[in-house]
Amino acid sequence: MQREGNGIPKNRVRVHTRIYEFAHGRKPRGTGGWIFCNSPYPDRVYSPTFLQFIGTYSQAKKMAVAEATRRQLPELWLCS
């Protein structure tokens, strides 16, 4: 199992896309700006974490998972 530093295993970060799919009517793909957050309801979290990346979805997801692993976040939601 791959681990980065003292964080959680890389393959244990779950990325949810249902909010994006509901808003856009399709699965995420292509190139653009991607925002991941640590809650499906970021306005209800005291200090939400937002991760923003520009590039293809697969590149952005890979970078978001690496950052979530570093910050020990078990789940991310694709918000935009």
Q: Is residue 2 part of a domain?
A: no
Q: Is residue 74 part of a domain?
A: yes
pLDDT of residue 49: 77
36: domain range?
10-78
HSE, CB side, 13 Å, CA atoms: give it for residue 3.
Answer: 6
Q: Is residue 72 part of a domain?
A: yes
Task: Give yes or no for a contact between 76 and 38, defined as CB atoms under 8 angstroms apart.
Answer: yes
Is the pLDDT score of 1 beyond 70?
Answer: no
How far the first Cα of the chain sits from its last, in Å, is 30
pLDDT of residue 50: 84
pLDDT of residue 46: 57
pLDDT of residue 79: 87
Cα–Cα distances in angstroms (integers) from residue 46 to residues 1, 20, 32, 41, 56, in the given order? 32, 22, 28, 11, 30
Q: Is residue 5 part of a domain?
A: no
pLDDT (tens digit, 9 = 90+) per residue, 5-47? Answer: 555 565 689 999 998 999 999 999 999 999 999 887 766 655 5
